[in-house]
Amino acid sequence: MKTKYKTTSLVIVIALILYLLIKYLLLQHNTLLYSYFDLFFYCFSFLIVVKTYGIPRNKNYLTRISTRYIIILLLFYILIIYLLGCFVGFLNNVYRNDLFGIINNIWPLVTLILFREFIRFSIANQSKINKQPFIILTVSYIAIDIFNSYIISDLNSFYLIFNFLCLSILPSIARHLLLSYMTYNISINISIIYSLVLEIGPIIVPIVPNLGNYLNAILYIFVPFITYLIIKKIVLYKEKASLKTRKYFVKLVSIPLVFFLIIIVSLVSGVFKYKMIAIATDSMNPIYYRGDAIIYEKSTDIKEGDILVYEYNNRVITHRVINIIEEYNRLLYQTKGDNNNTIDLNLVREENVLGKVRFIVKYVGYPTVLLSEIF
């Protein structure tokens, strides 16, 4: 029996060494092979694991309740980062957002995650008596993550080294320790869900919160830690009955949370007809004040008297339309802030119009205004 565990551990170490050597020495100058090597590596490892150990059964009465809690936690996480985005702003996603681009971006990563987590689950099932192979596998996953980050990082200063520690090393350790803990104690299901949401999500959304390195570093470590505490508490429950009483609470919380999350993300991202922004000046007093938020409609049906939302010099301005001028078969809008003494000097072109104000939400935008002034 001990020989079996030693052999498995040795194979994992050899596989890790081969991975590092091949990727570092042979593939750095071949972009295509380099990009898909991880997928090939995990696919080949997956086939070996299936051939050696077969497909383990995934039965654990804690799986269903754990899955619900993980989904709720991830929804809270998404809600929090998008609410933070209301304060610190958003960035356009660097990935392609058309259907073909999304599919092309996510299929290799989804496949890799499935292979990786199945290997983790299979080794976990083979390590119930002796955890050595599973520990070595977890360390190997961490080493691969850190290595891949290292070879694309610039570490020429202490600041960059510190960023590498906070944004690559520590998050990788936290993530893989958590995934291994969940897989070993419960099942592969929650590890896959957790990985898919956090690794695929940032690729498919049109905008991402501009949280910066500091907030991202905190979240990359804080979220796995909170998840671990929740899963650990679930694992400690031995009676099914005690868990069963909580499923009603899960349903009660999840339904309004999902609904609220959809509303917030839709308004902030502007995916649909309406979008919300914070007001940073008092130019439209007394209609609304600095620190309020307005929800505007993406509309081209602009009339005199409407409060126009438009871009000028990379700023979003909301002033009232006082005159519409037609010139060379295009419309120009003359605007003025209700609290300003003079008319705006520049006419607003049609292509700069974002929409018109429909609703006003008092005080909601004040944190955004304060943070924008600080940072």
Beta partners for residue 360, in sequence order: 294
Q: Is 228 exposed, middle or buried (0-12, 13-18, 19+ CB in 10 A)?
A: middle
Q: For residue 30, name the pLDDT band (cuts at 50, 70, 90).
A: low
Neighbours of 171 (CB within 10 A): 20
pLDDT of 27 strictly over 80: no
Residue 282 DSSP SS3: coil
Burial annotation 238-267 (CB, 10 A radius, 16+ → b, else e)? eeeeebeeeeeebeeeeeeeeeebeebbeb
pLDDT of 350 > 80? The answer is yes
- In this predicted structure, the answer to whether residue 1 has a pLDDT above a threshold of 70 is no
> Using one digit for the tens of pLDDT, what is the confidence trace for 269-323?
565 677 888 888 889 999 988 888 888 888 778 999 999 999 988 888 999 999 9
Length of the chain: 375
In three-state secondary structure terms, 299 is: coil
> To which residue do tokens 């390195």 refer?
213
Mean pLDDT of 127-154: 90
pLDDT at 143 over 90: yes
Predicted confidence (pLDDT) at residue 256 exceeds the cutoff of 60: no
Q: Which has the minimum average pLDDT: 61-70, 170-179, 234-243?
A: 234-243
Q: What is the pLDDT of residues 84-140, one digit of tens each?
A: 777 666 777 777 666 777 788 888 899 999 999 999 999 999 888 888 999 999 999
Q: Which domains does the chain have, with CATH numbers?
A: 2-61+88-222 (no CATH), 274-374 (2.10.109.10)
Contacts of 186 (CB under 8 A, 6+ apart): 60, 62, 63, 66, 231, 234, 235
Mean pLDDT rounded to a whole number for the chain: 82
- pLDDT range class, residue 239, cuts 50, 70, 90: very low
Per-residue pLDDT of 155-210, as tens digits, reads 887 778 888 888 889 899 999 999 999 999 888 989 999 999 998 888 887 777 87
* pLDDT band at 241; cut points 50, 70, 90: very low
* Distance from C-alpha of 368 to C-alpha of 261, rounded to nearest angstrom: 19
- Residue 29, pLDDT score: 64
Q: Quickly count helices (H) and strands (E) in the chain.
A: 12, 9
Q: Which of 16-25, 70-79, 216-225, 265-274 has the lowest mean pLDDT?
A: 265-274
- What pLDDT shows up at residue 140? 95
Q: State the first-to-last Cα distance of the chain, in angstroms, to the nearest integer.
A: 60
C-alpha 160/C-alpha 359 separation (Å) is 44
- Residue 308 confidence (pLDDT): 94
> Residue 57 above 70 pLDDT?
yes
Mean pLDDT of 227-245: 69
